[in-house]
Chains A and B, each alone.
Chain A
Amino acid sequence: MNNFTYIRPATLRDAATQLGKEHGKVMLLAGGTDLLGEMKDDLRVPERLVAIKHLRELQGIRPGRGGVRIGAATSLVDVVESADVRRQAPLLAMAAEKVGTPQIRNMATIGGNLCQRPRCWYYRNNYPCFKHGGNVCYSATGENDFHAILEGGPSYIVHPSDTAPALVALGATVRISTGGRERSVPIEKFFVSPKQDPTRENILQPNEILTEIEVPAAPAGSKAIYVKEMVREIWDFALCSVAAMVTTKGGVVEDARIVLGGVAPFPYRALKAEAALKGKRLDQAAAADAGAAAVEGARPLAKNAYKVPLTQATVARALLSLA
Chain B
Amino acid sequence: MAQQQGARNLTVVGTASPPIDAVERVTGQAKYVGDIELPGMLVAKVLRARHAHARIVSLDTSRAEALPGVKAVITHKDAPKVPIWGNRTYALNEQVRFAGEAVAAVAAVDEETAEKALRLIDVKYEVLKFVLDPEEAVKPGAPQLFPDGNLEGQPRVLTRGDVERAFAECDRVIERVYHCPTMWSGGMEPRVAIAQWEGNKLTLWASTQAPCRVQTNLTGQFNLADSQVRVIASYVGGGFGTKSAAHVDETIAALLARKARRPVKLQYSREEEILDSNTRFETRVYVKIGVKRDMTLHAMDVKAYINQGAYHVRLGGLGNQATHIYKTPHLRTVQYRVHTNLPNTGPTRGVGDPQETFAIDSAMDEIANEMGWDPVEFRLKNVKRNGDPIARGGTGPEDGRLVTQVTDRCIEEGAARIGWARRNAAPGAGQTGPKARGIGVAVTERGNGGGLAGATVTVNLDGSVVVFYASTDIGTHSRTTLSMIAAETIGVALASVRAVAGDTEVAPYDGGSYGNRVLYSTGRAVDAAARDCREQIFATAAPMLKASAADLELRDGVVRVKADASRSLPLRELMQRRGRSVVGDGNVAQSQAEVNVERAAGAHFVEVEVDRETGKIRILRYISAHDVGQPINRTVVENQIEGGTIQGLALTQAEEMRFDPRDGRCLNANFLDLKPPTMLDFDARVIEPIVVDNVGEQGPYGAKGLGENPCHPGMAAVANAVYNASGIRLRRVPFTRADVLRALAEQRTGVSRTA
B658 touches A121 (CB 8 A): yes
Chain B: minimal CB distance from A236 (Å)? 7
Contact of A266 with B by CB under 8 A? no
Q: B667–A235 contact, CB under 8 A?
A: no
| Interface core residue of B658, B661, B673 (most chain A CB under 10 Å) | B673
Closest A-chain residue to B115, C-beta based? A1
* Contact residue among A1, A143, A232 (Cβ-Cβ distance under 8 Å from B653): A232
Within A116-169, which residues are at the interface with B (CB < 8 Å)? 119, 121-122, 124-125, 138, 142-143, 145
Most B CB within 10 A of own CB, among A138, A235, A237, A306: A306
State which of B112, B667, B672, B737 has its C-beta within 8 Å of the C-beta of A310.
Answer: B737
A249 adjacent to chain B (CB < 8 Å): no
A122, A145, A234, A235: the one within 8 Å of B738 (CB): A145
From B616, B654, B667, B680, name the one whose CB has the most chain A CB atoms within 10 angstroms.
Answer: B667
Complexed CA–CA distance, A303 and B665 (Å): 18
Q: A142 near B662 (CB under 8 angstroms)?
A: yes
A232 touches B678 (CB 8 A): yes
A317 to B741, CA, bound (A): 17
Whether the Cβ atoms of A232 and B737 lie closer than 8 Å is no
Q: Is the CB of B738 within 8 A of A121?
A: no
Q: Does A239 contact B (CB under 8 A)?
A: yes
Q: Does B742 contact A (CB under 8 A)?
A: yes
Report B-chain residues with C-beta under 8 Å of the C-beta of A305: 738, 742
Distance, CA A72 to CA B614, complexed state (A): 34
Cβ-defined contact, B673 with A229, below 8 A: no
- Closest chain B residue to A237, Cβ basis: B672
1/0 contact string of A248-259 vs chain B (CB within 8 Å) = 000000000000
CB nearest neighbor in A for B677 = A232
Give the residue of A121, A229, A233, A314 whose beta carbon is less than 8 angstroms from that of B681. Answer: A233
Within 8 A of B (CB), among A198-249: 229, 231-237, 239
A143 to B662, CA, bound (A): 10
Q: How far is the CA of A314 from the CA of B611 in the complex (A)?
A: 11
Q: Which residues of A contact B680 (CB under 8 A)?
A: 232-234
B738/A306 in contact, CB under 8 A:
yes
CB-CB under 8 A for A122 and B654, given A236-B675, A306-B741, A313-B614: no
Mark interface residues in A295-323 (1 if CB within 8 Å of B CB, else 0). Answer: 00000000111100110011001000000
A166 to B634, CA, bound (A): 49
B668 at the interface (CB under 8 A from A): yes
What chain B residues lie within 8 Å of A124 (beta carbons)? Answer: 673
Q: Which residue of B lies closest to A317 (CB)?
A: B613
> Which of B112, B662, B675, B741 sits near A309, CB closer than 8 Å?
B741
Closest to A230 in B: B675
Most B C-beta atoms less than 10 A away, residue of A124, A125, A142: A125
Is the beta-carbon distance between B741 and A310 smaller than 8 angstroms?
Answer: yes
Instruction: Say whether A310 contacts B662, CB under 8 Å.
Output: no
Complex-state Cα separation, A122 to B662, whole angstroms: 12
Interchain nearest-CB distance for A52 vs B (Å): 25
The distance in angstroms between the C-alpha atoms of A235 and B678, with both chains bound, is 8
In the complex, whether B660 has a CB less than 8 A from a CB of chain A is: yes
B:101-126 near A, CB below 8 Å: 112, 115
Is the Cβ of B653 less than 8 Å from the Cβ of A309? no
Q: What chain A residues lie within 8 Å of B658 (beta carbons)?
A: 121, 143
In the complex the two chains form, is A231's CB within 8 Å of B660's CB?
no
Contact, CB under 8 Å: B613 / A234: no
Q: Across the interface, which residues of B come within 8 angstroms of A314, CB to CB?
A: 614
Tell me if B584 counts as interface (CB < 8 A to partner A): no
Task: Report B's interface with A, CB cutoff 8 A.
Answer: 112, 115, 434, 613-616, 653-654, 658, 660-662, 665, 667-668, 672-673, 675, 677-678, 680-681, 736-738, 741-742, 745
**Sampled A-B contacts (11; CB under 8 Å):** A122-B667, A125-B665, A138-B660, A229-B616, A229-B737, A232-B677, A232-B680, A233-B678, A236-B672, A236-B675, A306-B738
**A residues near B, CB below 8 A?**
1, 119, 121-122, 124-125, 138, 142-143, 145, 229, 231-237, 239, 303-306, 309-310, 313-314, 317
Given A313-B434, A313-B614, 6 other A-B residues pairs in contact with their CB atoms under 8 A: A142-B661, A231-B736, A232-B677, A235-B678, A236-B675, A305-B738
